Chain A
C-alpha cells in the first residue's frame, strides 16, 4: 500500500492522498493521471493491468488501486 501512495505522491505531489476518501471526486486524478498511474504501477509492480479494469471507480482510493493491482497478479506488501 505504501508503494502505491508513493507513486501517487510522485505523480501529484500537491494532493493529500492520505486524507482523501475519493481521489476522483476530490479532483486529484483525472483520466490522464489514471493513465500515468497505470503505467507507473505496471512498471514498478511488473504487472499488466487489464484494460477493462481502468475505470475511475477503481482508482478512488489506495485500497481500490491495490485491489486492482492484486486482481491483475501484482504483489501488494
Chain B
C-alpha cells in the first residue's frame, strides 16, 4: 500500500536505552566457536557492544521511562495526548496490551485511544503510519508513536549469530497536525510467504511454552544453541529478501515522492547489521556516509527502535535545528518492509536517554 499524509509532522523524538553495556569480547567465551573465527565477525557485522536490559525489565518499562522523561521536561502535556500506538514484538504479557499499561501508569483519561501493533523491525515506521492515520480524527490532540522491545529476552545467549547483535531500546515520536504544506509519502508491504524466515516458534497458541520448548539444541548443526522459545532466523533468506525487496521499494517511494537520492539528507534505515547496510547502500547507489550504520556496533539491533536510536544518536543537533528531507526504511518479521519520505526537523526535542533499566 502506498499513501500520503498531509498537514502532519513529527515534533519530537526520544530514544530510550538501558544503562547496561556489554562488550563483544566479554561474551565471546559463551559461544561454541573458535575465538579467532568469531572475532572476524566483529569487524564485518559491527559487533562491538550492545545495551541489554536487566532481568526484571519488560517492554513497557523502557517506553514508560521515556514518556515520564518527556513529560518531566515539559516537552509534552498529558492533556495533549489523544492516542498511544505501541509497536512491539515481545510484550510484557499477552494480555493486557503494552499501550494499556502505559495509559494506566500515566493516568491518562479513558477516552485516550490506545493500541498495540504486533510488529518487529518495521515497528517504528508502522507506528508512525498508524499514528498519522489517527491524527485525521484527533484535531489538536497528539499521538505518541512508540516502538519498544526487549529483544535480548527472545534471543539465546548461546546463539553467536544473533546474540551479539541483539539490543534493547524504545523509540518515541510525538506526532501532531500542523498547517504547513508538508506531504509525507509512505509505502507498506509484506511478504507473508517468507514469514518463517524470522520467527519465535513457541510461546503462542500453535506451540505453547513448555519444559520441552525451553530445551537448548543445535537445530542446524552449526554450533548455535537455541530453544523453541528463542528467536530463530534463516540468515541467507532474510539477507536475500532485504537486498531483493528493499532497493526497488526505496526507488519507487522516491519516485512517488518526486524526489531524487540527492534530495535526501539522510537515509535512516533499520539497523540489522553493518554488512547488510553496506550492501544495501551499494545496491541503492547511496554513499555510506548518507546511510548511518553504526547502531549495531554501539547499541545492538533493537528491532523497531533502531530508526529513532539512529536519529537521536547521529543527527540530533541537525534534527533540532534544520528541516531536511529524509527517507526512512524498515524491514523484518512478517516479512514486512516499509518506507517513508518526509520533511523532518526543527524538532522540539531529539535526545538519547539512558534509563535506569
Contact = CB atoms under 8 A, between A and B. Distances in A.
A and B part of one assembly: yes
Interface of A: 11-12, 27, 30-32, 34-36, 38-39, 48, 50-52, 54-56
Contacts of A55: 236, 240
B221 A27 contact: yes
Given A51-B279, A52-B240, A52-B244, 10 more contacts: A30-B161, A35-B44, A36-B40, A38-B275, A39-B44, A48-B282, A51-B239, A51-B282, A54-B240, A55-B240
A51 B41 CA distance: 18
Contact of B41 (A36, A52, A56): A36
A11 B44 CA distance: 13
B161 A32 contact: yes
B309 interface: no
B220 A12 contact: no
Contacts of A34: 236
A51 B221 contact: no
Contacts of A31: 161, 235-236, 239
Nearest to A27: B221
Query: Chain B binding site: helix, strand, loop or mixed by DSSP?
Result: helix
Contact size range, B: 20 to 34
Nearest to B273: A35
A4 to B, nearest CB: 16
Interface string B218-250: 001110000000000001100110011000000
A69 to B, nearest CB: 16
A58 to B, nearest CB: 11
Contacts of A11: 37, 40
Interface in B267-317: 275, 279-280, 282-283
Contacts of A39: 43-44, 275
25 contacts: A11-B37, A30-B161, A30-B220, A30-B222, A31-B235, A31-B236, A32-B41, A32-B160, A32-B161, A32-B235, A34-B236, A35-B45, A36-B41, A36-B44, A39-B44, A48-B282, A50-B282, A50-B283, A51-B243, A51-B283, A52-B243, A52-B244, A52-B283, A54-B239, A56-B236
A12 B33 CA distance: 11
A50 B280 CA distance: 10
A71 to B, nearest CB: 15
Nearest to B238: A31
Interface string B90-130: 00000000000000000000000000000000000000000
A75 B275 CA distance: 23
